[in-house]
Amino acid sequence: MFASLKNRDYLLLWTGQAGSAFAMNMQLVAQGWLVYEMTVSTMNLALVTFAFTAPQIFFALIGGVLADRVRKKPLLLWSQALNGAATLVMAVIIITGKVTFFDFIWVGFLNGTVLALSMPARTAFIPEIVGEGLMFNAMAFNMASWNIARILGPALAGVMIAVFAGGDKTSAFGVGLVYLVLSALYLVSSVTVLFIHHPGHPLGTGQASPLRDVWEGLTYAAHSPVVGGLILLSILPFLFGMSVNTFLPAFNTDVLAGGADDLGILMAAMGAGAILGSLALAKMREFRHKGVWLFASTLLWGGLVAGFGATATMLAALVLVGLVGFISAFNMSMNRSIVQLQVTREMRGRVMSIDMMSHGLMPLGILPIGWVAEHWGVAGGIGLSGALLMAGTLALWFVLVGVRRIDSGFEPPK
């Protein structure tokens, strides 16, 4: 199960990923808590999410070209250092009491831009380090690093806010301290990259113009029924399956009457389930009928989201949010692993950037759901998003025949 972690370079890459994942998950709790207490608006929570995800639409393709054209190691190093500097500035703004809603917008946009430019390189770096035989294992642990952070990061952030606020919901001091920790974690993530031996050599020729590279990547994905279909199938959950993540602060306050520590526990439960989902995939290299499992897990994801929207007790919410975490990690890790195995080496960065860009479409689902939540309640908005995810998955079952027929995931690219 731990084969990929025995690779020194991958262990360092994984450690850096864990550091940045801790920072991002703590940031979700901190910004969600303070934004909702400042504005009491689910639409503003959706707008903060939009500020973070929108750059993925505009800059992810550029990140894919960079992943195929430049060395990946320095790209990852400087991107994490920039995130560390930005969150440090944000910490100072919050602690000094000068924070406004707009500050969460600009720092979210900057974090999202850096992620869009660097994540394709990080993802394409993995098969270069571990080889294709350990792809499912390595991608599962990549997702596990994120989900370990989803357990401990939110709980730590929630406790810090609750303790240092002293019961005062309007206090921003605890949030400011969380942002200080975020900046340190981003900088640690940057330092770990320094010790990776593999430079992440460019795999593309670099002879064509960047725009031509982008066009080649788009054409490659569009002409492959399997690769294009996998990307399309991954878009649906980002449109409608992530409503729990975005609106959990509002659901915690409005439906469950919970505090910051309760929000941290809920997000930790989601992370615990996600770790189990990642570990389940880590042993699935020889598992058959992966295409059917992809559809089944996406359908179940929608059902669990809808069920979560109907809960009214903390115990039921903890169980369902944990199951959402399990199935989402299982589904996303499997999808991304199969995509990596289906593309040629020189196209990996660009195809992963297209995959990431498609995930930036999340606001197209989140913003309307936010409007529904604003007018008819957050529980109704989450329930509707789960129902839409189920309906969309059933429709794609009849369209994406190539994805449905995927067996081991190691079939030759089409």
Q: What is the pLDDT of residues 219-277, one digit of tens each?
A: 877 777 888 888 888 888 888 888 887 888 888 888 888 887 788 788 778 878 888 88
Reported confidence tier of residue 396, pLDDT bands at 50, 70, 90: very high
The pTM score is 0.67
DSSP assignment, residue 73? H
The answer to whether 414 and 224 are in contact (CB under 8 A) is yes
Tokens 């770990």 belong to: 192
Q: What is the pLDDT of residue 308?
A: 93
**DSSP output for 147-170:** HHHHHHHHHHHHHHHHHHHTT-TT
Residues near 283 by beta carbon (within 8 Å), at least 6 away in sequence: 1
| Buried-exposed string 220-253: b where 16+ CB fall within 10 A, e elsewhere | bbeebebbbbbbbbbbbbbbbbbbbbbbbbbbbb
Q: What is the pLDDT of residue 168?
A: 55
Q: What is the pLDDT of residue 203?
A: 63
To the nearest whole percent, how much of the chain has pLDDT over 90? 12
Query: Which of 244, 245, 243, 221 has the alpha carbon at shortest distance from 233?
Result: 221
Q: What is the pLDDT of residues 167-222, one digit of tens each?
A: 555 567 778 888 888 899 998 888 888 888 877 666 655 556 667 777 777 787 77
DSSP H or E stretch at residue 67: helix 42-69
- State mean pLDDT over 63-75: 79
For residue 153, give both structure tokens: 């990061």
DSSP H or E stretch at residue 267: helix 260-282
Q: What is the pLDDT of residue 363?
A: 66
127 or 294, which is more confident: 294
For residue 395, give both structure tokens: 């429709």
Reported confidence tier of residue 384, pLDDT bands at 50, 70, 90: very high
- CA 302, CA 230: separation in Å to the nearest integer? 17
Residues near 345 by beta carbon (within 8 Å), at least 6 away in sequence: 127, 203
At residue 110, what is the residue type? Answer: L
